[in-house]
């Protein structure tokens, strides 16, 4: 490992260790008097599922010098842990949903579903950046930055146009929880796929990204319209979760999977 990689690894260990230790300590300590564990399930399992997804992608589709090297597999897992941890800690609350404040402290199951989906979506953004051959970890950071920034901007779009956080944290609408979770996973899959491939240049990466990622924007616009239309209000009774959450969520996931399959190998 180079000097830069060693410093990055140490920094990543500190950041990943701090963010995920705090995450799981919060899961154990915050609002323990509340009954039930449903609101803790998604925040507890999503990071593990995200780690498994990143590991599988690294092991099978990362650069040839990474997938067979335990040192580099560890390095990119740590980097991913730090990446997703920082986004979850600093990004999610600024978009209106907090793992600690909403999912745990208020035992808000819809918010916890959304947080779980957002952790997975962010992890897929990062995992996609590891697919293909590249000269150094800097290109992984560049690609992950591209996909993750797009992910957060599209979330912001859904928030501003559809007031997603209102549905999740104030209305505590279960349908919104499932919609958001599935949307985030679908966006992560599309955006992760959009930065996958062998490295050529920064310009080519951005060009490819724009070509592959635009359906994610369309999906976010559709989700924002759906959010505004389905939020419980005085004029509209709350729909059954299957109709308002699971069905649209399945459509989001299906659209994401179809788009990734349609793009084919990188």
Partner 1 sequence: MTTTRELVYEAWAPPDARWSAWAKPTLFASVQDGEAAEAPALLPPAPYDVSSLPDPASDLALVVDLPGVDSVRAGLALAARGYRAVPLFNASDGPNAVLDTARIRLALVGAVGRLESLRLPPDAPPVFLLDAERCEPRHMPEPGMFDNRWVVLPQDFPSASALLARGVRRAIVVQKPLDMLRADLGHVLRRWQEGGIAIFWVEPSISVVTPVDVPKPSRFRGLWYRLSLIAGLRRNASGGFGSPIPVPPPPGSGGFHGGWG
* Residue 169 in the binding site for partner 1 (CB under 8 A): yes
- Among 32, 201, 203, 261, the residue binding partner 1 under the rule CB under 8 A is 32
Cβ 93 to partner 1, closest distance in Å?
A: 6
Cβ atoms of 152 and 95 closer than 8 Å: yes
CB of 158 to partner 1, least distance (A): 12
Nearer to partner 1, 237 or 261 (CB): 237
Note the residue count of the chain. 266
145 binds partner 1 (CB under 8 A): no
Evaluate whether 187 touches 118 at the Cβ level (below 8 Å).
no
CB of 234 to partner 1, least distance (A): 4
Q: Give the interface segment with partner 1, choosing from 44-52, 158-166, 190-198, 203-211 (CB under 8 A).
A: 158-166
Site map 87..116 versus partner 1, x via CB under 8 A: ------xxxx----xx-xxxxx--------
Question: Do the Cβ atoms of 43 and 108 come closer than 8 Å?
Answer: no
Of residues 170-229, those binding partner 1 (CB under 8 A): 170-172
Looking at beta carbons only, is 193 or 231 nearer to partner 1?
231
Is position 166 an interface residue for partner 1 (rule: CB under 8 A)? yes
Cα–Cα distance, 102 to 105 (Å, whole number): 6
CA distance 112 to 233: 22
Give me the residues paired with residue 233 across strands. 236
Distances (CA, A) of 245 to 2, 124, 186: 48, 22, 14
Q: Give whichever of 11 and 243 is closer to partner 1, judged by the CB atom.
A: 243
The residue among 95 and 247 lying less far from partner 1, judged by its C-beta, is 95
Nearest CA to 241 out of 107, 117, 109 is that of: 109
Q: What is the CA radius of gyration of the chain?
A: 18
Rounded to an integer, what distance in angstroms lies between the CA atom of residue 13 and that of residue 18? 8
* Residue 131 region by backbone torsions, left for phi larger than 0, else alpha for psi between -120 and 50, else beta: beta
- Beta bridge partners, 62, equal 131
Q: Which region among 76-84, 167-175, 178-186, 243-251 touches partner 1 (by CB under 8 A)? A: 167-175
In the bound complex, what is the minimum distance in angstroms from residue 32's beta carbon to partner 1?
Answer: 7
Other beta carbons less than 10 A from residue 263's beta carbon = 15
35 binds partner 1 (CB under 8 A): yes
Q: Residue 5, interface with partner 1 (CB under 8 A)?
A: no
From the list 130, 147, 148, 165, which residue makes contact with partner 1 (rule: CB under 8 A)?
165
| Ranges within 232-251 binding partner 1 (CB under 8 A) | 232-234, 237-238
The gap from C-alpha 177 to its chain's centroid, in whole angstroms, comes to 14
Instruction: Give the torsion through C-alpha atoms of 152, 155, 161, 165, to 10 deg.
Output: -120
- Given the rule CB under 8 A, which residues bind partner 1? 25, 29-35, 93-96, 101-102, 104-108, 159-160, 163, 165-166, 169-172, 232-234, 237-238
């Amino acid at each position: 490992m180079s000097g830069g990689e060693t410093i990055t690894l140490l920094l990543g260990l500190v950041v990943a260790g701090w963010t995920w230790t705090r995450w799981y300590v919060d899961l154990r300590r915050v609002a323990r008097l509340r009954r039930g564990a449903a609101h803790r399930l998604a925040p507890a399992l999503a990071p593990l599922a995200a780690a498994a997804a990143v590991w599988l992608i690294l092991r099978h589709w990362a650069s040839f010098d990474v997938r067979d090297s335990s040192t580099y597999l560890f390095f990119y897992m740590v980097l991913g842990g730090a990446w997703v941890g920082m986004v979850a800690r600093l990004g999610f609350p600024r978009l209106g949903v907090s793992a600690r404040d909403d999912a745990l402290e208020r035992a808000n199951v819809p918010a916890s579903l959304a947080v779980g989906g957002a952790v997975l979506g962010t992890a897929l953004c990062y995992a996609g950046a590891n697919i293909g051959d590249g000269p150094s970890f800097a290109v992984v950071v560049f690609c992950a930055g591209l996909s993750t920034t797009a992910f957060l901007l599209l979330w912001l779009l859904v928030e501003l146009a559809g007031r997603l956080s209102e549905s999740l944290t104030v209305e505590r609408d279960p349908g919104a929880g499932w919609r958001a979770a599935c949307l985030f996973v679908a966006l992560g899959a599309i955006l992760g796929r959009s930065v996958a491939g062998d490295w050529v240049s920064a310009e080519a990466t951005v060009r490819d990204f724009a070509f592959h990622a635009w359906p994610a924007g369309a999906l976010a616009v559709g989700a924002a319209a759906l959010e505004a239309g389905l939020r419980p209000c005085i004029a509209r009774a709350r729909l059954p979760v299957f109709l308002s959450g699971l069905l649209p969520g399945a459509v989001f996931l299906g659209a994401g999977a179809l788009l990734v399959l349609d793009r084919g190998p990188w």
